[in-house]
Amino acid sequence: MKAWREISTTCSNDADVCVMGIAFDGGASVGKGAALAPDEIRKCSEVLPPVNSTGEFFEELKVYDAGDVEFSLDWAAYYKAVEEEALKLLNTGKFCIFLGGDHSVSIPLGKALGEYYKDKKLGVIHFDSHPDLCDEYEGSKWSHACPLKRILEDAIEPADLAQVGIRSYEYEEVEFYEQHPETMVIKAYDIFREGYEAAVEKLVEKFKEYEAVYITLDIDVLDPAYAPGTGTPEAGGLSSRELMYMINRLMEELPVKAMDIVEVSPSLDTPNQITSWAAVKIMYEVFAQLNKR
């Protein structure tokens, strides 16, 4: 069997979706293993028929898998290669899904987004348990605790960012929120109190006039009960159903053009790879929505 089964195509021109793996976890500060995620997610896709959770088939949709960016021990060279390869995929005009890797891979992706959308109003919706707004962490500006800080330098302004599911903070991240009230923050506690429907309404209202929206999805936005295989699990997160519903609504109502899914760590997962399965099921919800466009 092959990844993406009958919706797979070997020609990017025929594709509706382009997938690229970024098999790197050098920026992870705690649990490693996210470098294994792109292949594990592909493996899960081998046995899934082209259908979403409500029974909508999308066998007409075609997925082109560009493989993984070639790894290099030279971190700067590797990030540059990720940026260049991501920009190539974005330039196809297809919907792009980038599979990490730890969240540091969103740093070169952010550079590619900044270049591709430099003349358009771009918004970023960030699903995560952590803000990832540190300027530096453990002596590195390329840590997985820093990608949203770098994206704010390379692609968007604070007013163009919304963070969802947040429930763990560094001091400087709380200070950032105080200094930038224009950044939307929907904490996990807010979703618990107000509901995920209310959270979606806020996001749709914020980004409805944008020309393009990018979703960066750290799988640890899910509660560890639903996604145990991740490097820095945080109790009190979203359920798989809540996240799938929110992604569906955002795909329906906003101009979401690309996304990444990061921090899936197969080596930290349970024997049946719950977290990798969650990631691929989210992707199939996205595919079903794209099939309606």
> Over the stretch 103-117, which tens digit does the pLDDT of each residue have?
999 999 999 999 999
**Amino acid identity, position 220:** D
pLDDT of 28 higher than 80: no
Judge whether residue 1 has pLDDT over 80: no
Q: What's the number of domains the chain is made of?
A: 1
Average pLDDT, rounded, for the chain: 96
| Mean pLDDT within 83-110 | 97
The set of residues, in sequence order, having a beta carbon less than 8 Å from that of 203 and lying 6+ positions away, is: 125, 162, 164, 184, 186, 246, 250, 254
Band (30; pLDDT cuts 50, 70, 90): confident
With a cut of 70, say whether residue 31 has pLDDT above it.
no
In 144-285, where do the E strands start and end?
161-166, 184-187, 212-218, 256-262
Percent of the chain predicted with pLDDT > 90 = 91
Residue pLDDT, tens place only, 131-144: 999 998 888 888 88
pTM over 0.85: yes
Question: What pLDDT does 140 receive?
Answer: 84
Measured distance CA(279)–CA(276) in Å, rounded: 5
What tens digit of pLDDT does each residue of 269-278 get?
A: 988 999 999 9
* pLDDT over 70 percentage in the chain: 99
For the domain that residue 87 is a member of, what is the CATH number? 3.40.800.10
Question: What is the domain extent for residue 149?
Answer: 5-290
Q: List the Cα angle 107/231/276 in 5-degree steps.
A: 90
Query: Is a pLDDT exceeding 80 seen at residue 246?
Result: yes
73 pLDDT higher than 70: yes
Report DSSP letters for 74-127, one per residue. Answer: -HHHHHHHHHHHHHHHHTTTSEEEEEESSGGGHHHHHHHHHHHTTTS-EEEEEE
Dihedrals φ, ψ of 189, to 5°?
-65, -35
